[in-house]
A and B are shown apart, each in its own frame.
Chain A
Amino acid sequence: MAVPEKSTKERLMSFLDDLEVLSRELIEMLALSRNQKLSQPGEENQILELLIQKDGEFQELMKVALSQGKIHQEMQVLEKEVEKRDSDIQQLQKQLKEAEHILATAVYQAKEKLKSIDKARKGAISSEELIKYAHRISASNAVCAPLTWVPGDPRRPYPTDLEMRSGLLGQMSNLPTNGVNGHLPGDALAAGRLPDVLAPQYPWQSNDMSMNMLPPNHSNEFLMESLGPNKENEEDVEVMSTDSSSSSSDSD
């Protein structure tokens, strides 16, 4: 315990050095005293006592070293256990991260759904209003030709060139609403009623026009009929798209 910070190995080695030196000194001293017939029993006894003391301490320390060996084994077992626990914790952490990822995705999707539900609730539109809007669209013959339509009639079942230009898409691409080159004659005719079509307060919104144009019970039938002539509509749309592209290229 003289040098407590030294390792047991260092202390054992130092004891061994001391024991070797003391035993050598004792043997040399005895040999010398025997040859020279000198007797200094006091010094010999001192060395012998020191040797016995050091030998005893060495044995005690060896016991400590052996117990340290056993503790070392226990420590190795504990280290293995710590490693095992570490791998367990890492595995658990991995699983928790996966769970977190799945939960985060689920929460995000749920929030999105809640947002859309909230949005839908805030912007709730009554069916009556929807029907009104449908009337407004159909009144301009934008989706279906009138029942009395004949070739040459300027009213069309699709937006005219001028209507397209006045719309949101037209405004986004900064297409001029006036002075269109190469527009169809029908567009010119339609232009006359265009302000009425785009006006927020369309005359039929007061139900006067809708009553005149369509009987209340006829609206569904009318919509169903509009789905009927699909081929014609498709063809018309194609013609319209070529028209608009040619006109837009002309305007450019």
Chain B
Amino acid sequence: MATGGNVRPAEEPEEEEEEDEAAEEEEEEEYTFLPLVHDIIKCMDKDSQDVYQELNELKSKFQAMRKLVGNMPGIDLSPEEQQRHLQSLREQVQTKNELLQKYKSLCMFEIPKE
């Protein structure tokens, strides 16, 4: 990857974008239960014995999704609350920056060290 990047640096961003889009699509597929339900219905139509395996897959998918949601960072708040927190943090940083800038521009303090 590193050597390829050095050879064709101009094409690298496009490749990355394509990779990101593909990853997003995969993620979206990961978060849907419809394909599994569809497979189960198909198996039921065919009276296939794979239906139990599909049912187990659906069950384990629900478990996996619950675990994933439980471990996802930053979703303990609603988006609105999170935005408020984010805004408040940005304001804090800005205020503190301004305060520091104000004090630093006042004058220099040289404290004699004994």
CA distance A20 to B72 in the complex (A): 20
CA distance A99 to B110 in the complex (A): 8
A82 to B: closest C-beta gap in Å: 5
B60-103 Cβ-contact flags toward A at 8 Å (1 or 0): 00100110011011111111111101100110110011011001
Identify the stretch in A63-71, A115-123, A130-138, A194-202 within 8 Å (CB) of chain B at 4 or more residues.
A63-71
B89 to A: closest C-beta gap in Å: 4
CA distance A62 to B89 in the complex (A): 25
Collect the chain B residues with CB atoms within 8 Å of residue A96's CB: 103, 109
Collect the chain B residues with CB atoms within 8 Å of residue A65's CB: 69, 72, 74-75
Collect the chain B residues with CB atoms within 8 Å of residue A16's CB: 62, 65-66, 69
CA distance A75 to B76 in the complex (A): 13
Determine whether B32 belongs to the interface, using a CB cutoff of 8 Å to chain A.
yes
Determine whether B22 belongs to the interface, using a CB cutoff of 8 Å to chain A.
no
A71 and B69 contacting across the interface, CB-CB below 8 Å? no
Collect the chain A residues with CB atoms within 8 Å of residue B65's CB: 16
Determine whether B111 belongs to the interface, using a CB cutoff of 8 Å to chain A.
yes
- B interface with A by C-beta (< 8 Å): 27-28, 31-34, 37, 40-41, 44, 55, 58, 62, 65-66, 69-70, 72-83, 85-86, 89-90, 92-93, 96-97, 99-100, 103-104, 109, 111-112
- A interface with B by C-beta (< 8 Å): 4-9, 12-13, 16, 19-20, 23, 26-27, 30-31, 34, 51-52, 55, 58-59, 62-75, 78-79, 81-82, 85-86, 88-89, 92, 95-96, 98-99, 102
